[in-house]
Amino acid sequence: MKIGLVPIVAKEVDEDVLNAIEDYIGRFYSNFGFEVEIIPKTSVEDLSFAYNSVRDQFLGRFFLMKAAEIRGIKGISVALGITDADLYEKGMNFIFGLANPYLSSAIISLARLRPEFYSEENEGLLKDRAIKEAMHELGHVFGLEHCSNPRCVMHFSNSIIDTDYKGNAYCKTCLEKLKRSLGWKDDRD
């Protein structure tokens, strides 16, 4: 089984961020039999119809569909799209990410995870935030809902403050749900 990281690029998706996500996701999900691979980059050009010039943002659901399309073409189990484009959904000012378990796909946007978006200077912060959002959206792909524990990676991030506060791991309750969802068997049982 394979999780494919799918860079969907407007200007640039940082290689070091992709590598950090690949490393973290790979170490965690290898426990469930998944390999992680970075798929070759694709451009946002064929998603130009999803661009809203008034908002200067793209409608996120089309990026999710693009990740799902690439998942099918590449024959991978799960696709996690990673874009530098700023995404939104109807009724929301922006989204950090979006997932659909039926499509076995998710998308995260780095645009509002970047420290410079908030006039911050912190080199490692983008990687940390991107890993949290990747873990969060993959959790949704594997059937997890939002968690009430503000330190759990499955806690809903209404703002970057929420993202920074939560950890990059599933709480005990969410981890148990994930294990059940993925049919994980503990050899010690």
120 is catalytic: no
**From CA 71, how far away is CA 173, in angstroms rounded?**
29
How far is the C-alpha of 33 from the C-alpha of 189, rounded, in Å? 18
Provide the token pair at 172: 């005990």
Choosing from 45, 121, 137, 145, the catalytic residue is 137
Q: Which long-range contacts (CB under 8 A, 24 or more apart) does 46-53 make?
A: 47/8, 52/88
Give yes or no for a contact between 86 and 111, defined as CB atoms under 8 angstroms apart: yes
CA-to-CA dists, residue 164 to 40, 86, 110, 174, 177, angstroms: 29, 19, 14, 19, 24
- Cα–Cα distance for residue pair 70/145, rounded to 1 Å: 25
Residues carrying an active site annotation: 137
